[in-house]
Structure 1
Amino acid sequence: MTPLQRLTATLNGEPTDRIPVFCNLLDQGAQELGMSLEQYYAKGANVAEGQLRMQRKYGYDNVWSLFYVGKEAELLGCRKILFAEDGPPNVEHFVIQDYGDIERLEVPDDIAALPAFAETAECLRILRAEVGGKVPICAYLTASMTLPALLMGMDKWMELLLTGPVELRDLLLEKCSLFFRRQAAAYRAAGADVLLYSNPFGSTYFVGMKRFQALSLPWMEKDLLPDGVDDVVYYCGSAPFNNVIEQVRERLGIRVYYLGPEDDVAEGKRLVGGQGMACGVINDIKLLRWSTDEICAEVRRIVEAGKPGGRFLFGTVVMPYAIPEGKIRAMLGAAFEYGKF
């Protein structure tokens, strides 16, 4: 089976050769091409080539159009990204410096026409030409409740969210939700098969259940319901979210849930239900210190908890740059072996 056939069959509850395996190797593409991270992320062709090489090298079932999370801030005017030598880039210039900047923030009508989107579009064009229709092409989109952290910093966003002027909070969320919908349209038009909806505020990790129900759920509905959720994967930034799955499923109709590493896999799969797909996720930071035997044992635990009955995927979070190749191969080898039907 091709990776896309495997993913589609799994989601539909049809027989497959093994469970799908997603491995999110992003910064590693720079190392593969012998480039610094800043050189690598400067061109969409580099990112596409890095993704294609990683997928062919290890044999897992997805590729990414994601450069780094701060790309979304650049689409809204961020002028400076901080590049490290051995880790993911971060936003250095915040678009929103004070509350007045919220009112001045403008959401572009056509995201695809922005110069800051050009290299992402080129990456998607190459991926679509090389593996379109065979390997799922994934895009990363930040939810309206989480995007403000990239625009003003987490501390200022939490202050506004919890104690700031409600009218400014809602104005910012309205603009972020509009941006989300327009960005999702751009990614879909450019060829992305899977939209990862990233929302740590879609769990009760940052906000309690009361605020989740009063704020998070309504804004998720504004983000997602106008254009549908058939290609959407629910992801809470590796935060646990089993306790909200039933509410999200009933309100939004999302079928695919990328669990947090601390979530109980079997329980998560039960909560997702028989018409959806649960993704059991390894805590890949621990791959830095685990032995290969420990890695294989953890993969086996996750797979054996989720595999019975199908409709299950094994995945990673964002694999740290420093994980040795041997440990990546051990993890994937175990997932392929234990994931066979």
Structure 2
Amino acid sequence: MRSLEPLQAPVDPVEALRRVGFLLERSRQHSRRVEAFRGAAQVLRGLDEGEVAQRVKAGTITDLTGIGKSTAGVIEQAVRGELPDYLATQQDEHGGPLVEGSEAYTEAIIGDCHLHSDWSDGGSPIEEMVLTAVELGHEWMVLTDHSPRLRIANGLTAQRLAQQLELLERINASLGDAITVLSGIEVDILDDGALDQTPEMLGRLDLVTASVHSKLKMAKGPMTRRMVAAVSNPRVNVLGHCTGRLVTGGRGTRPQSDFDARAVFEACAEHDVAVEINSRPERCDPPDELIELALDIGCLFAVDSDAHAPGQLEMKAYGAERAERLGVPLERIVTTWEVERLVEWVGSEDQR
């Protein structure tokens, strides 16, 4: 994974708007600001060739629904061949490396086992997530929208997941060698350790990330049994944000769940399930001491973005820094593997 090079004039108006949206997401700005720029880019995509320049010349660009003062300013300067001032400011303030000193680990991470689209609680279409991943140098990514019980996140029923799989086939057919988009899910771990999706649908997916999202204050014994049961399921490949903690951010803080981490990580090692290093700053999950425990036990790891927007895909740099600092070998991080090796590792249910 690489950082995006700053845009220089001249720049296409759509690309200027997309990059502003990316930088706003990357710096965790309010979603309404992001939506304004991404929405404006979508409006321009729907116009006939030459109409943008004609409207800028006539002063009617803001007559279009979805184009406001700030977005119009970016469009007008881009059409005139200038680098828009708003874009230049965002690049100066938010375009540098997210983390200093972990370039080797960051560049080695070429995949992502945990990200979301607007099919569940993400903010952008699958196509925009894919395009940004290509720009960042991803070689593969796994789309893992939520499962049905997580209604607040618009989790996918079996029927909607089947529809998404059909769309992914069409997207992959159009991509050539640019990137491989694998099918997946972030499946909710139910109270008894069962998985919140039908076995038939789970069997159709390339990779399954399983996470606890409910009853995070469950007593230690039941929570341990719940998590061990989940990672023992042959269909699970990655254990997502295992403690459920929140350490900062707009949702406030939340303590980590109480479970026997050694028992859970030993089950992960036994069943060849990777422990996720969730890169979102508000999660920073697992904490350092649990990563060290999983490392000692012999677990694999997945440095994932848990991105809900294109500008969050690069947040894997935070997880890469932690992995390097804690001494996790690159060969034990599945998101550094070539896609062929990843697919072989996942294997079939009969092989696991």
Instruction: State the TM-score, normalizing by the size of structure 1.
Output: 0.46
Q: Larger radius of gyration, structure 1 or 2?
A: 2
